[in-house]
Amino acid sequence: MSAWLDLLPIAAFFLADRLAGLYVATAVLIVATLIQLVVQYRREGRVHPLLIIGSGLVFVMGGLTLWAHDVRFLLYKPSVVYLGLALSFWFFSFDGRQSIVSRMLASHLIVSEYSCERANRWLIAIFVALSVANIGHVLLYGQTGFGLWLLSLKALSFVAMAIVIVLLARRGVLLDAVNEPESGS
């Protein structure tokens, strides 16, 4: 999928929010996400599972925002996404196959499974922390406003992902510098 199509819903949301307000922007986001689904299906003959999940969250949380006329549903969406990611990383660490981190990095780098398991645990912790931080920020939303909430969410997400990259590099996942545990000990 091209970059413009990936960015279409969020760009449309911000433009509509600026011009007409949050509730109109939420409706625009839902329509733009539906367009994104249709275009991907027509181009590729299928829709990527992550886009289906993300779109489902937009439809449910955005629909609840419009139905209840309460912006908090939209504000809680990142917490649901982060918690879902944490649960996915946790669940797939017990399925008897490679961790999600190992599956993502295997085609790009040569890394040990031990290093990937450690990175998987770090990502679970960071996604849970992001979810909790967003919930805390939503609870303060009435005092800070939507613009500040959005800015701080993006800044917090950026900082968290930068921390993940640094930790992966320092812990040896990206450089494979971590010593393997002794199998006989």
The three-state DSSP-derived secondary structure of the chain is: CCHHHHHHHHHHHHHHHHHHCHHHHHHHHHHHHHHHHHHHHHHHCCCCHHHHHHHHHHHHHHHHHHHHCCCHHHHHHHHHHHHHHHHHHHHHCCCCCCCHHHHHHCCCCCCCHHHHHHHHHHHHHHHHHHHHHHHHHHHCHHHHCHHHHHHHHHHHHHHHHHHHHHHHHHCCCCCCCCCCCCCCC
Tens digits of residue pLDDT in 131-166? 898 888 788 765 566 667 777 777 777 787 777 777
Q: What is the pTM of this model?
A: 0.67
Residue 104 has pLDDT above 60, yes or no: yes
Of 118 and 38, more confident: 38
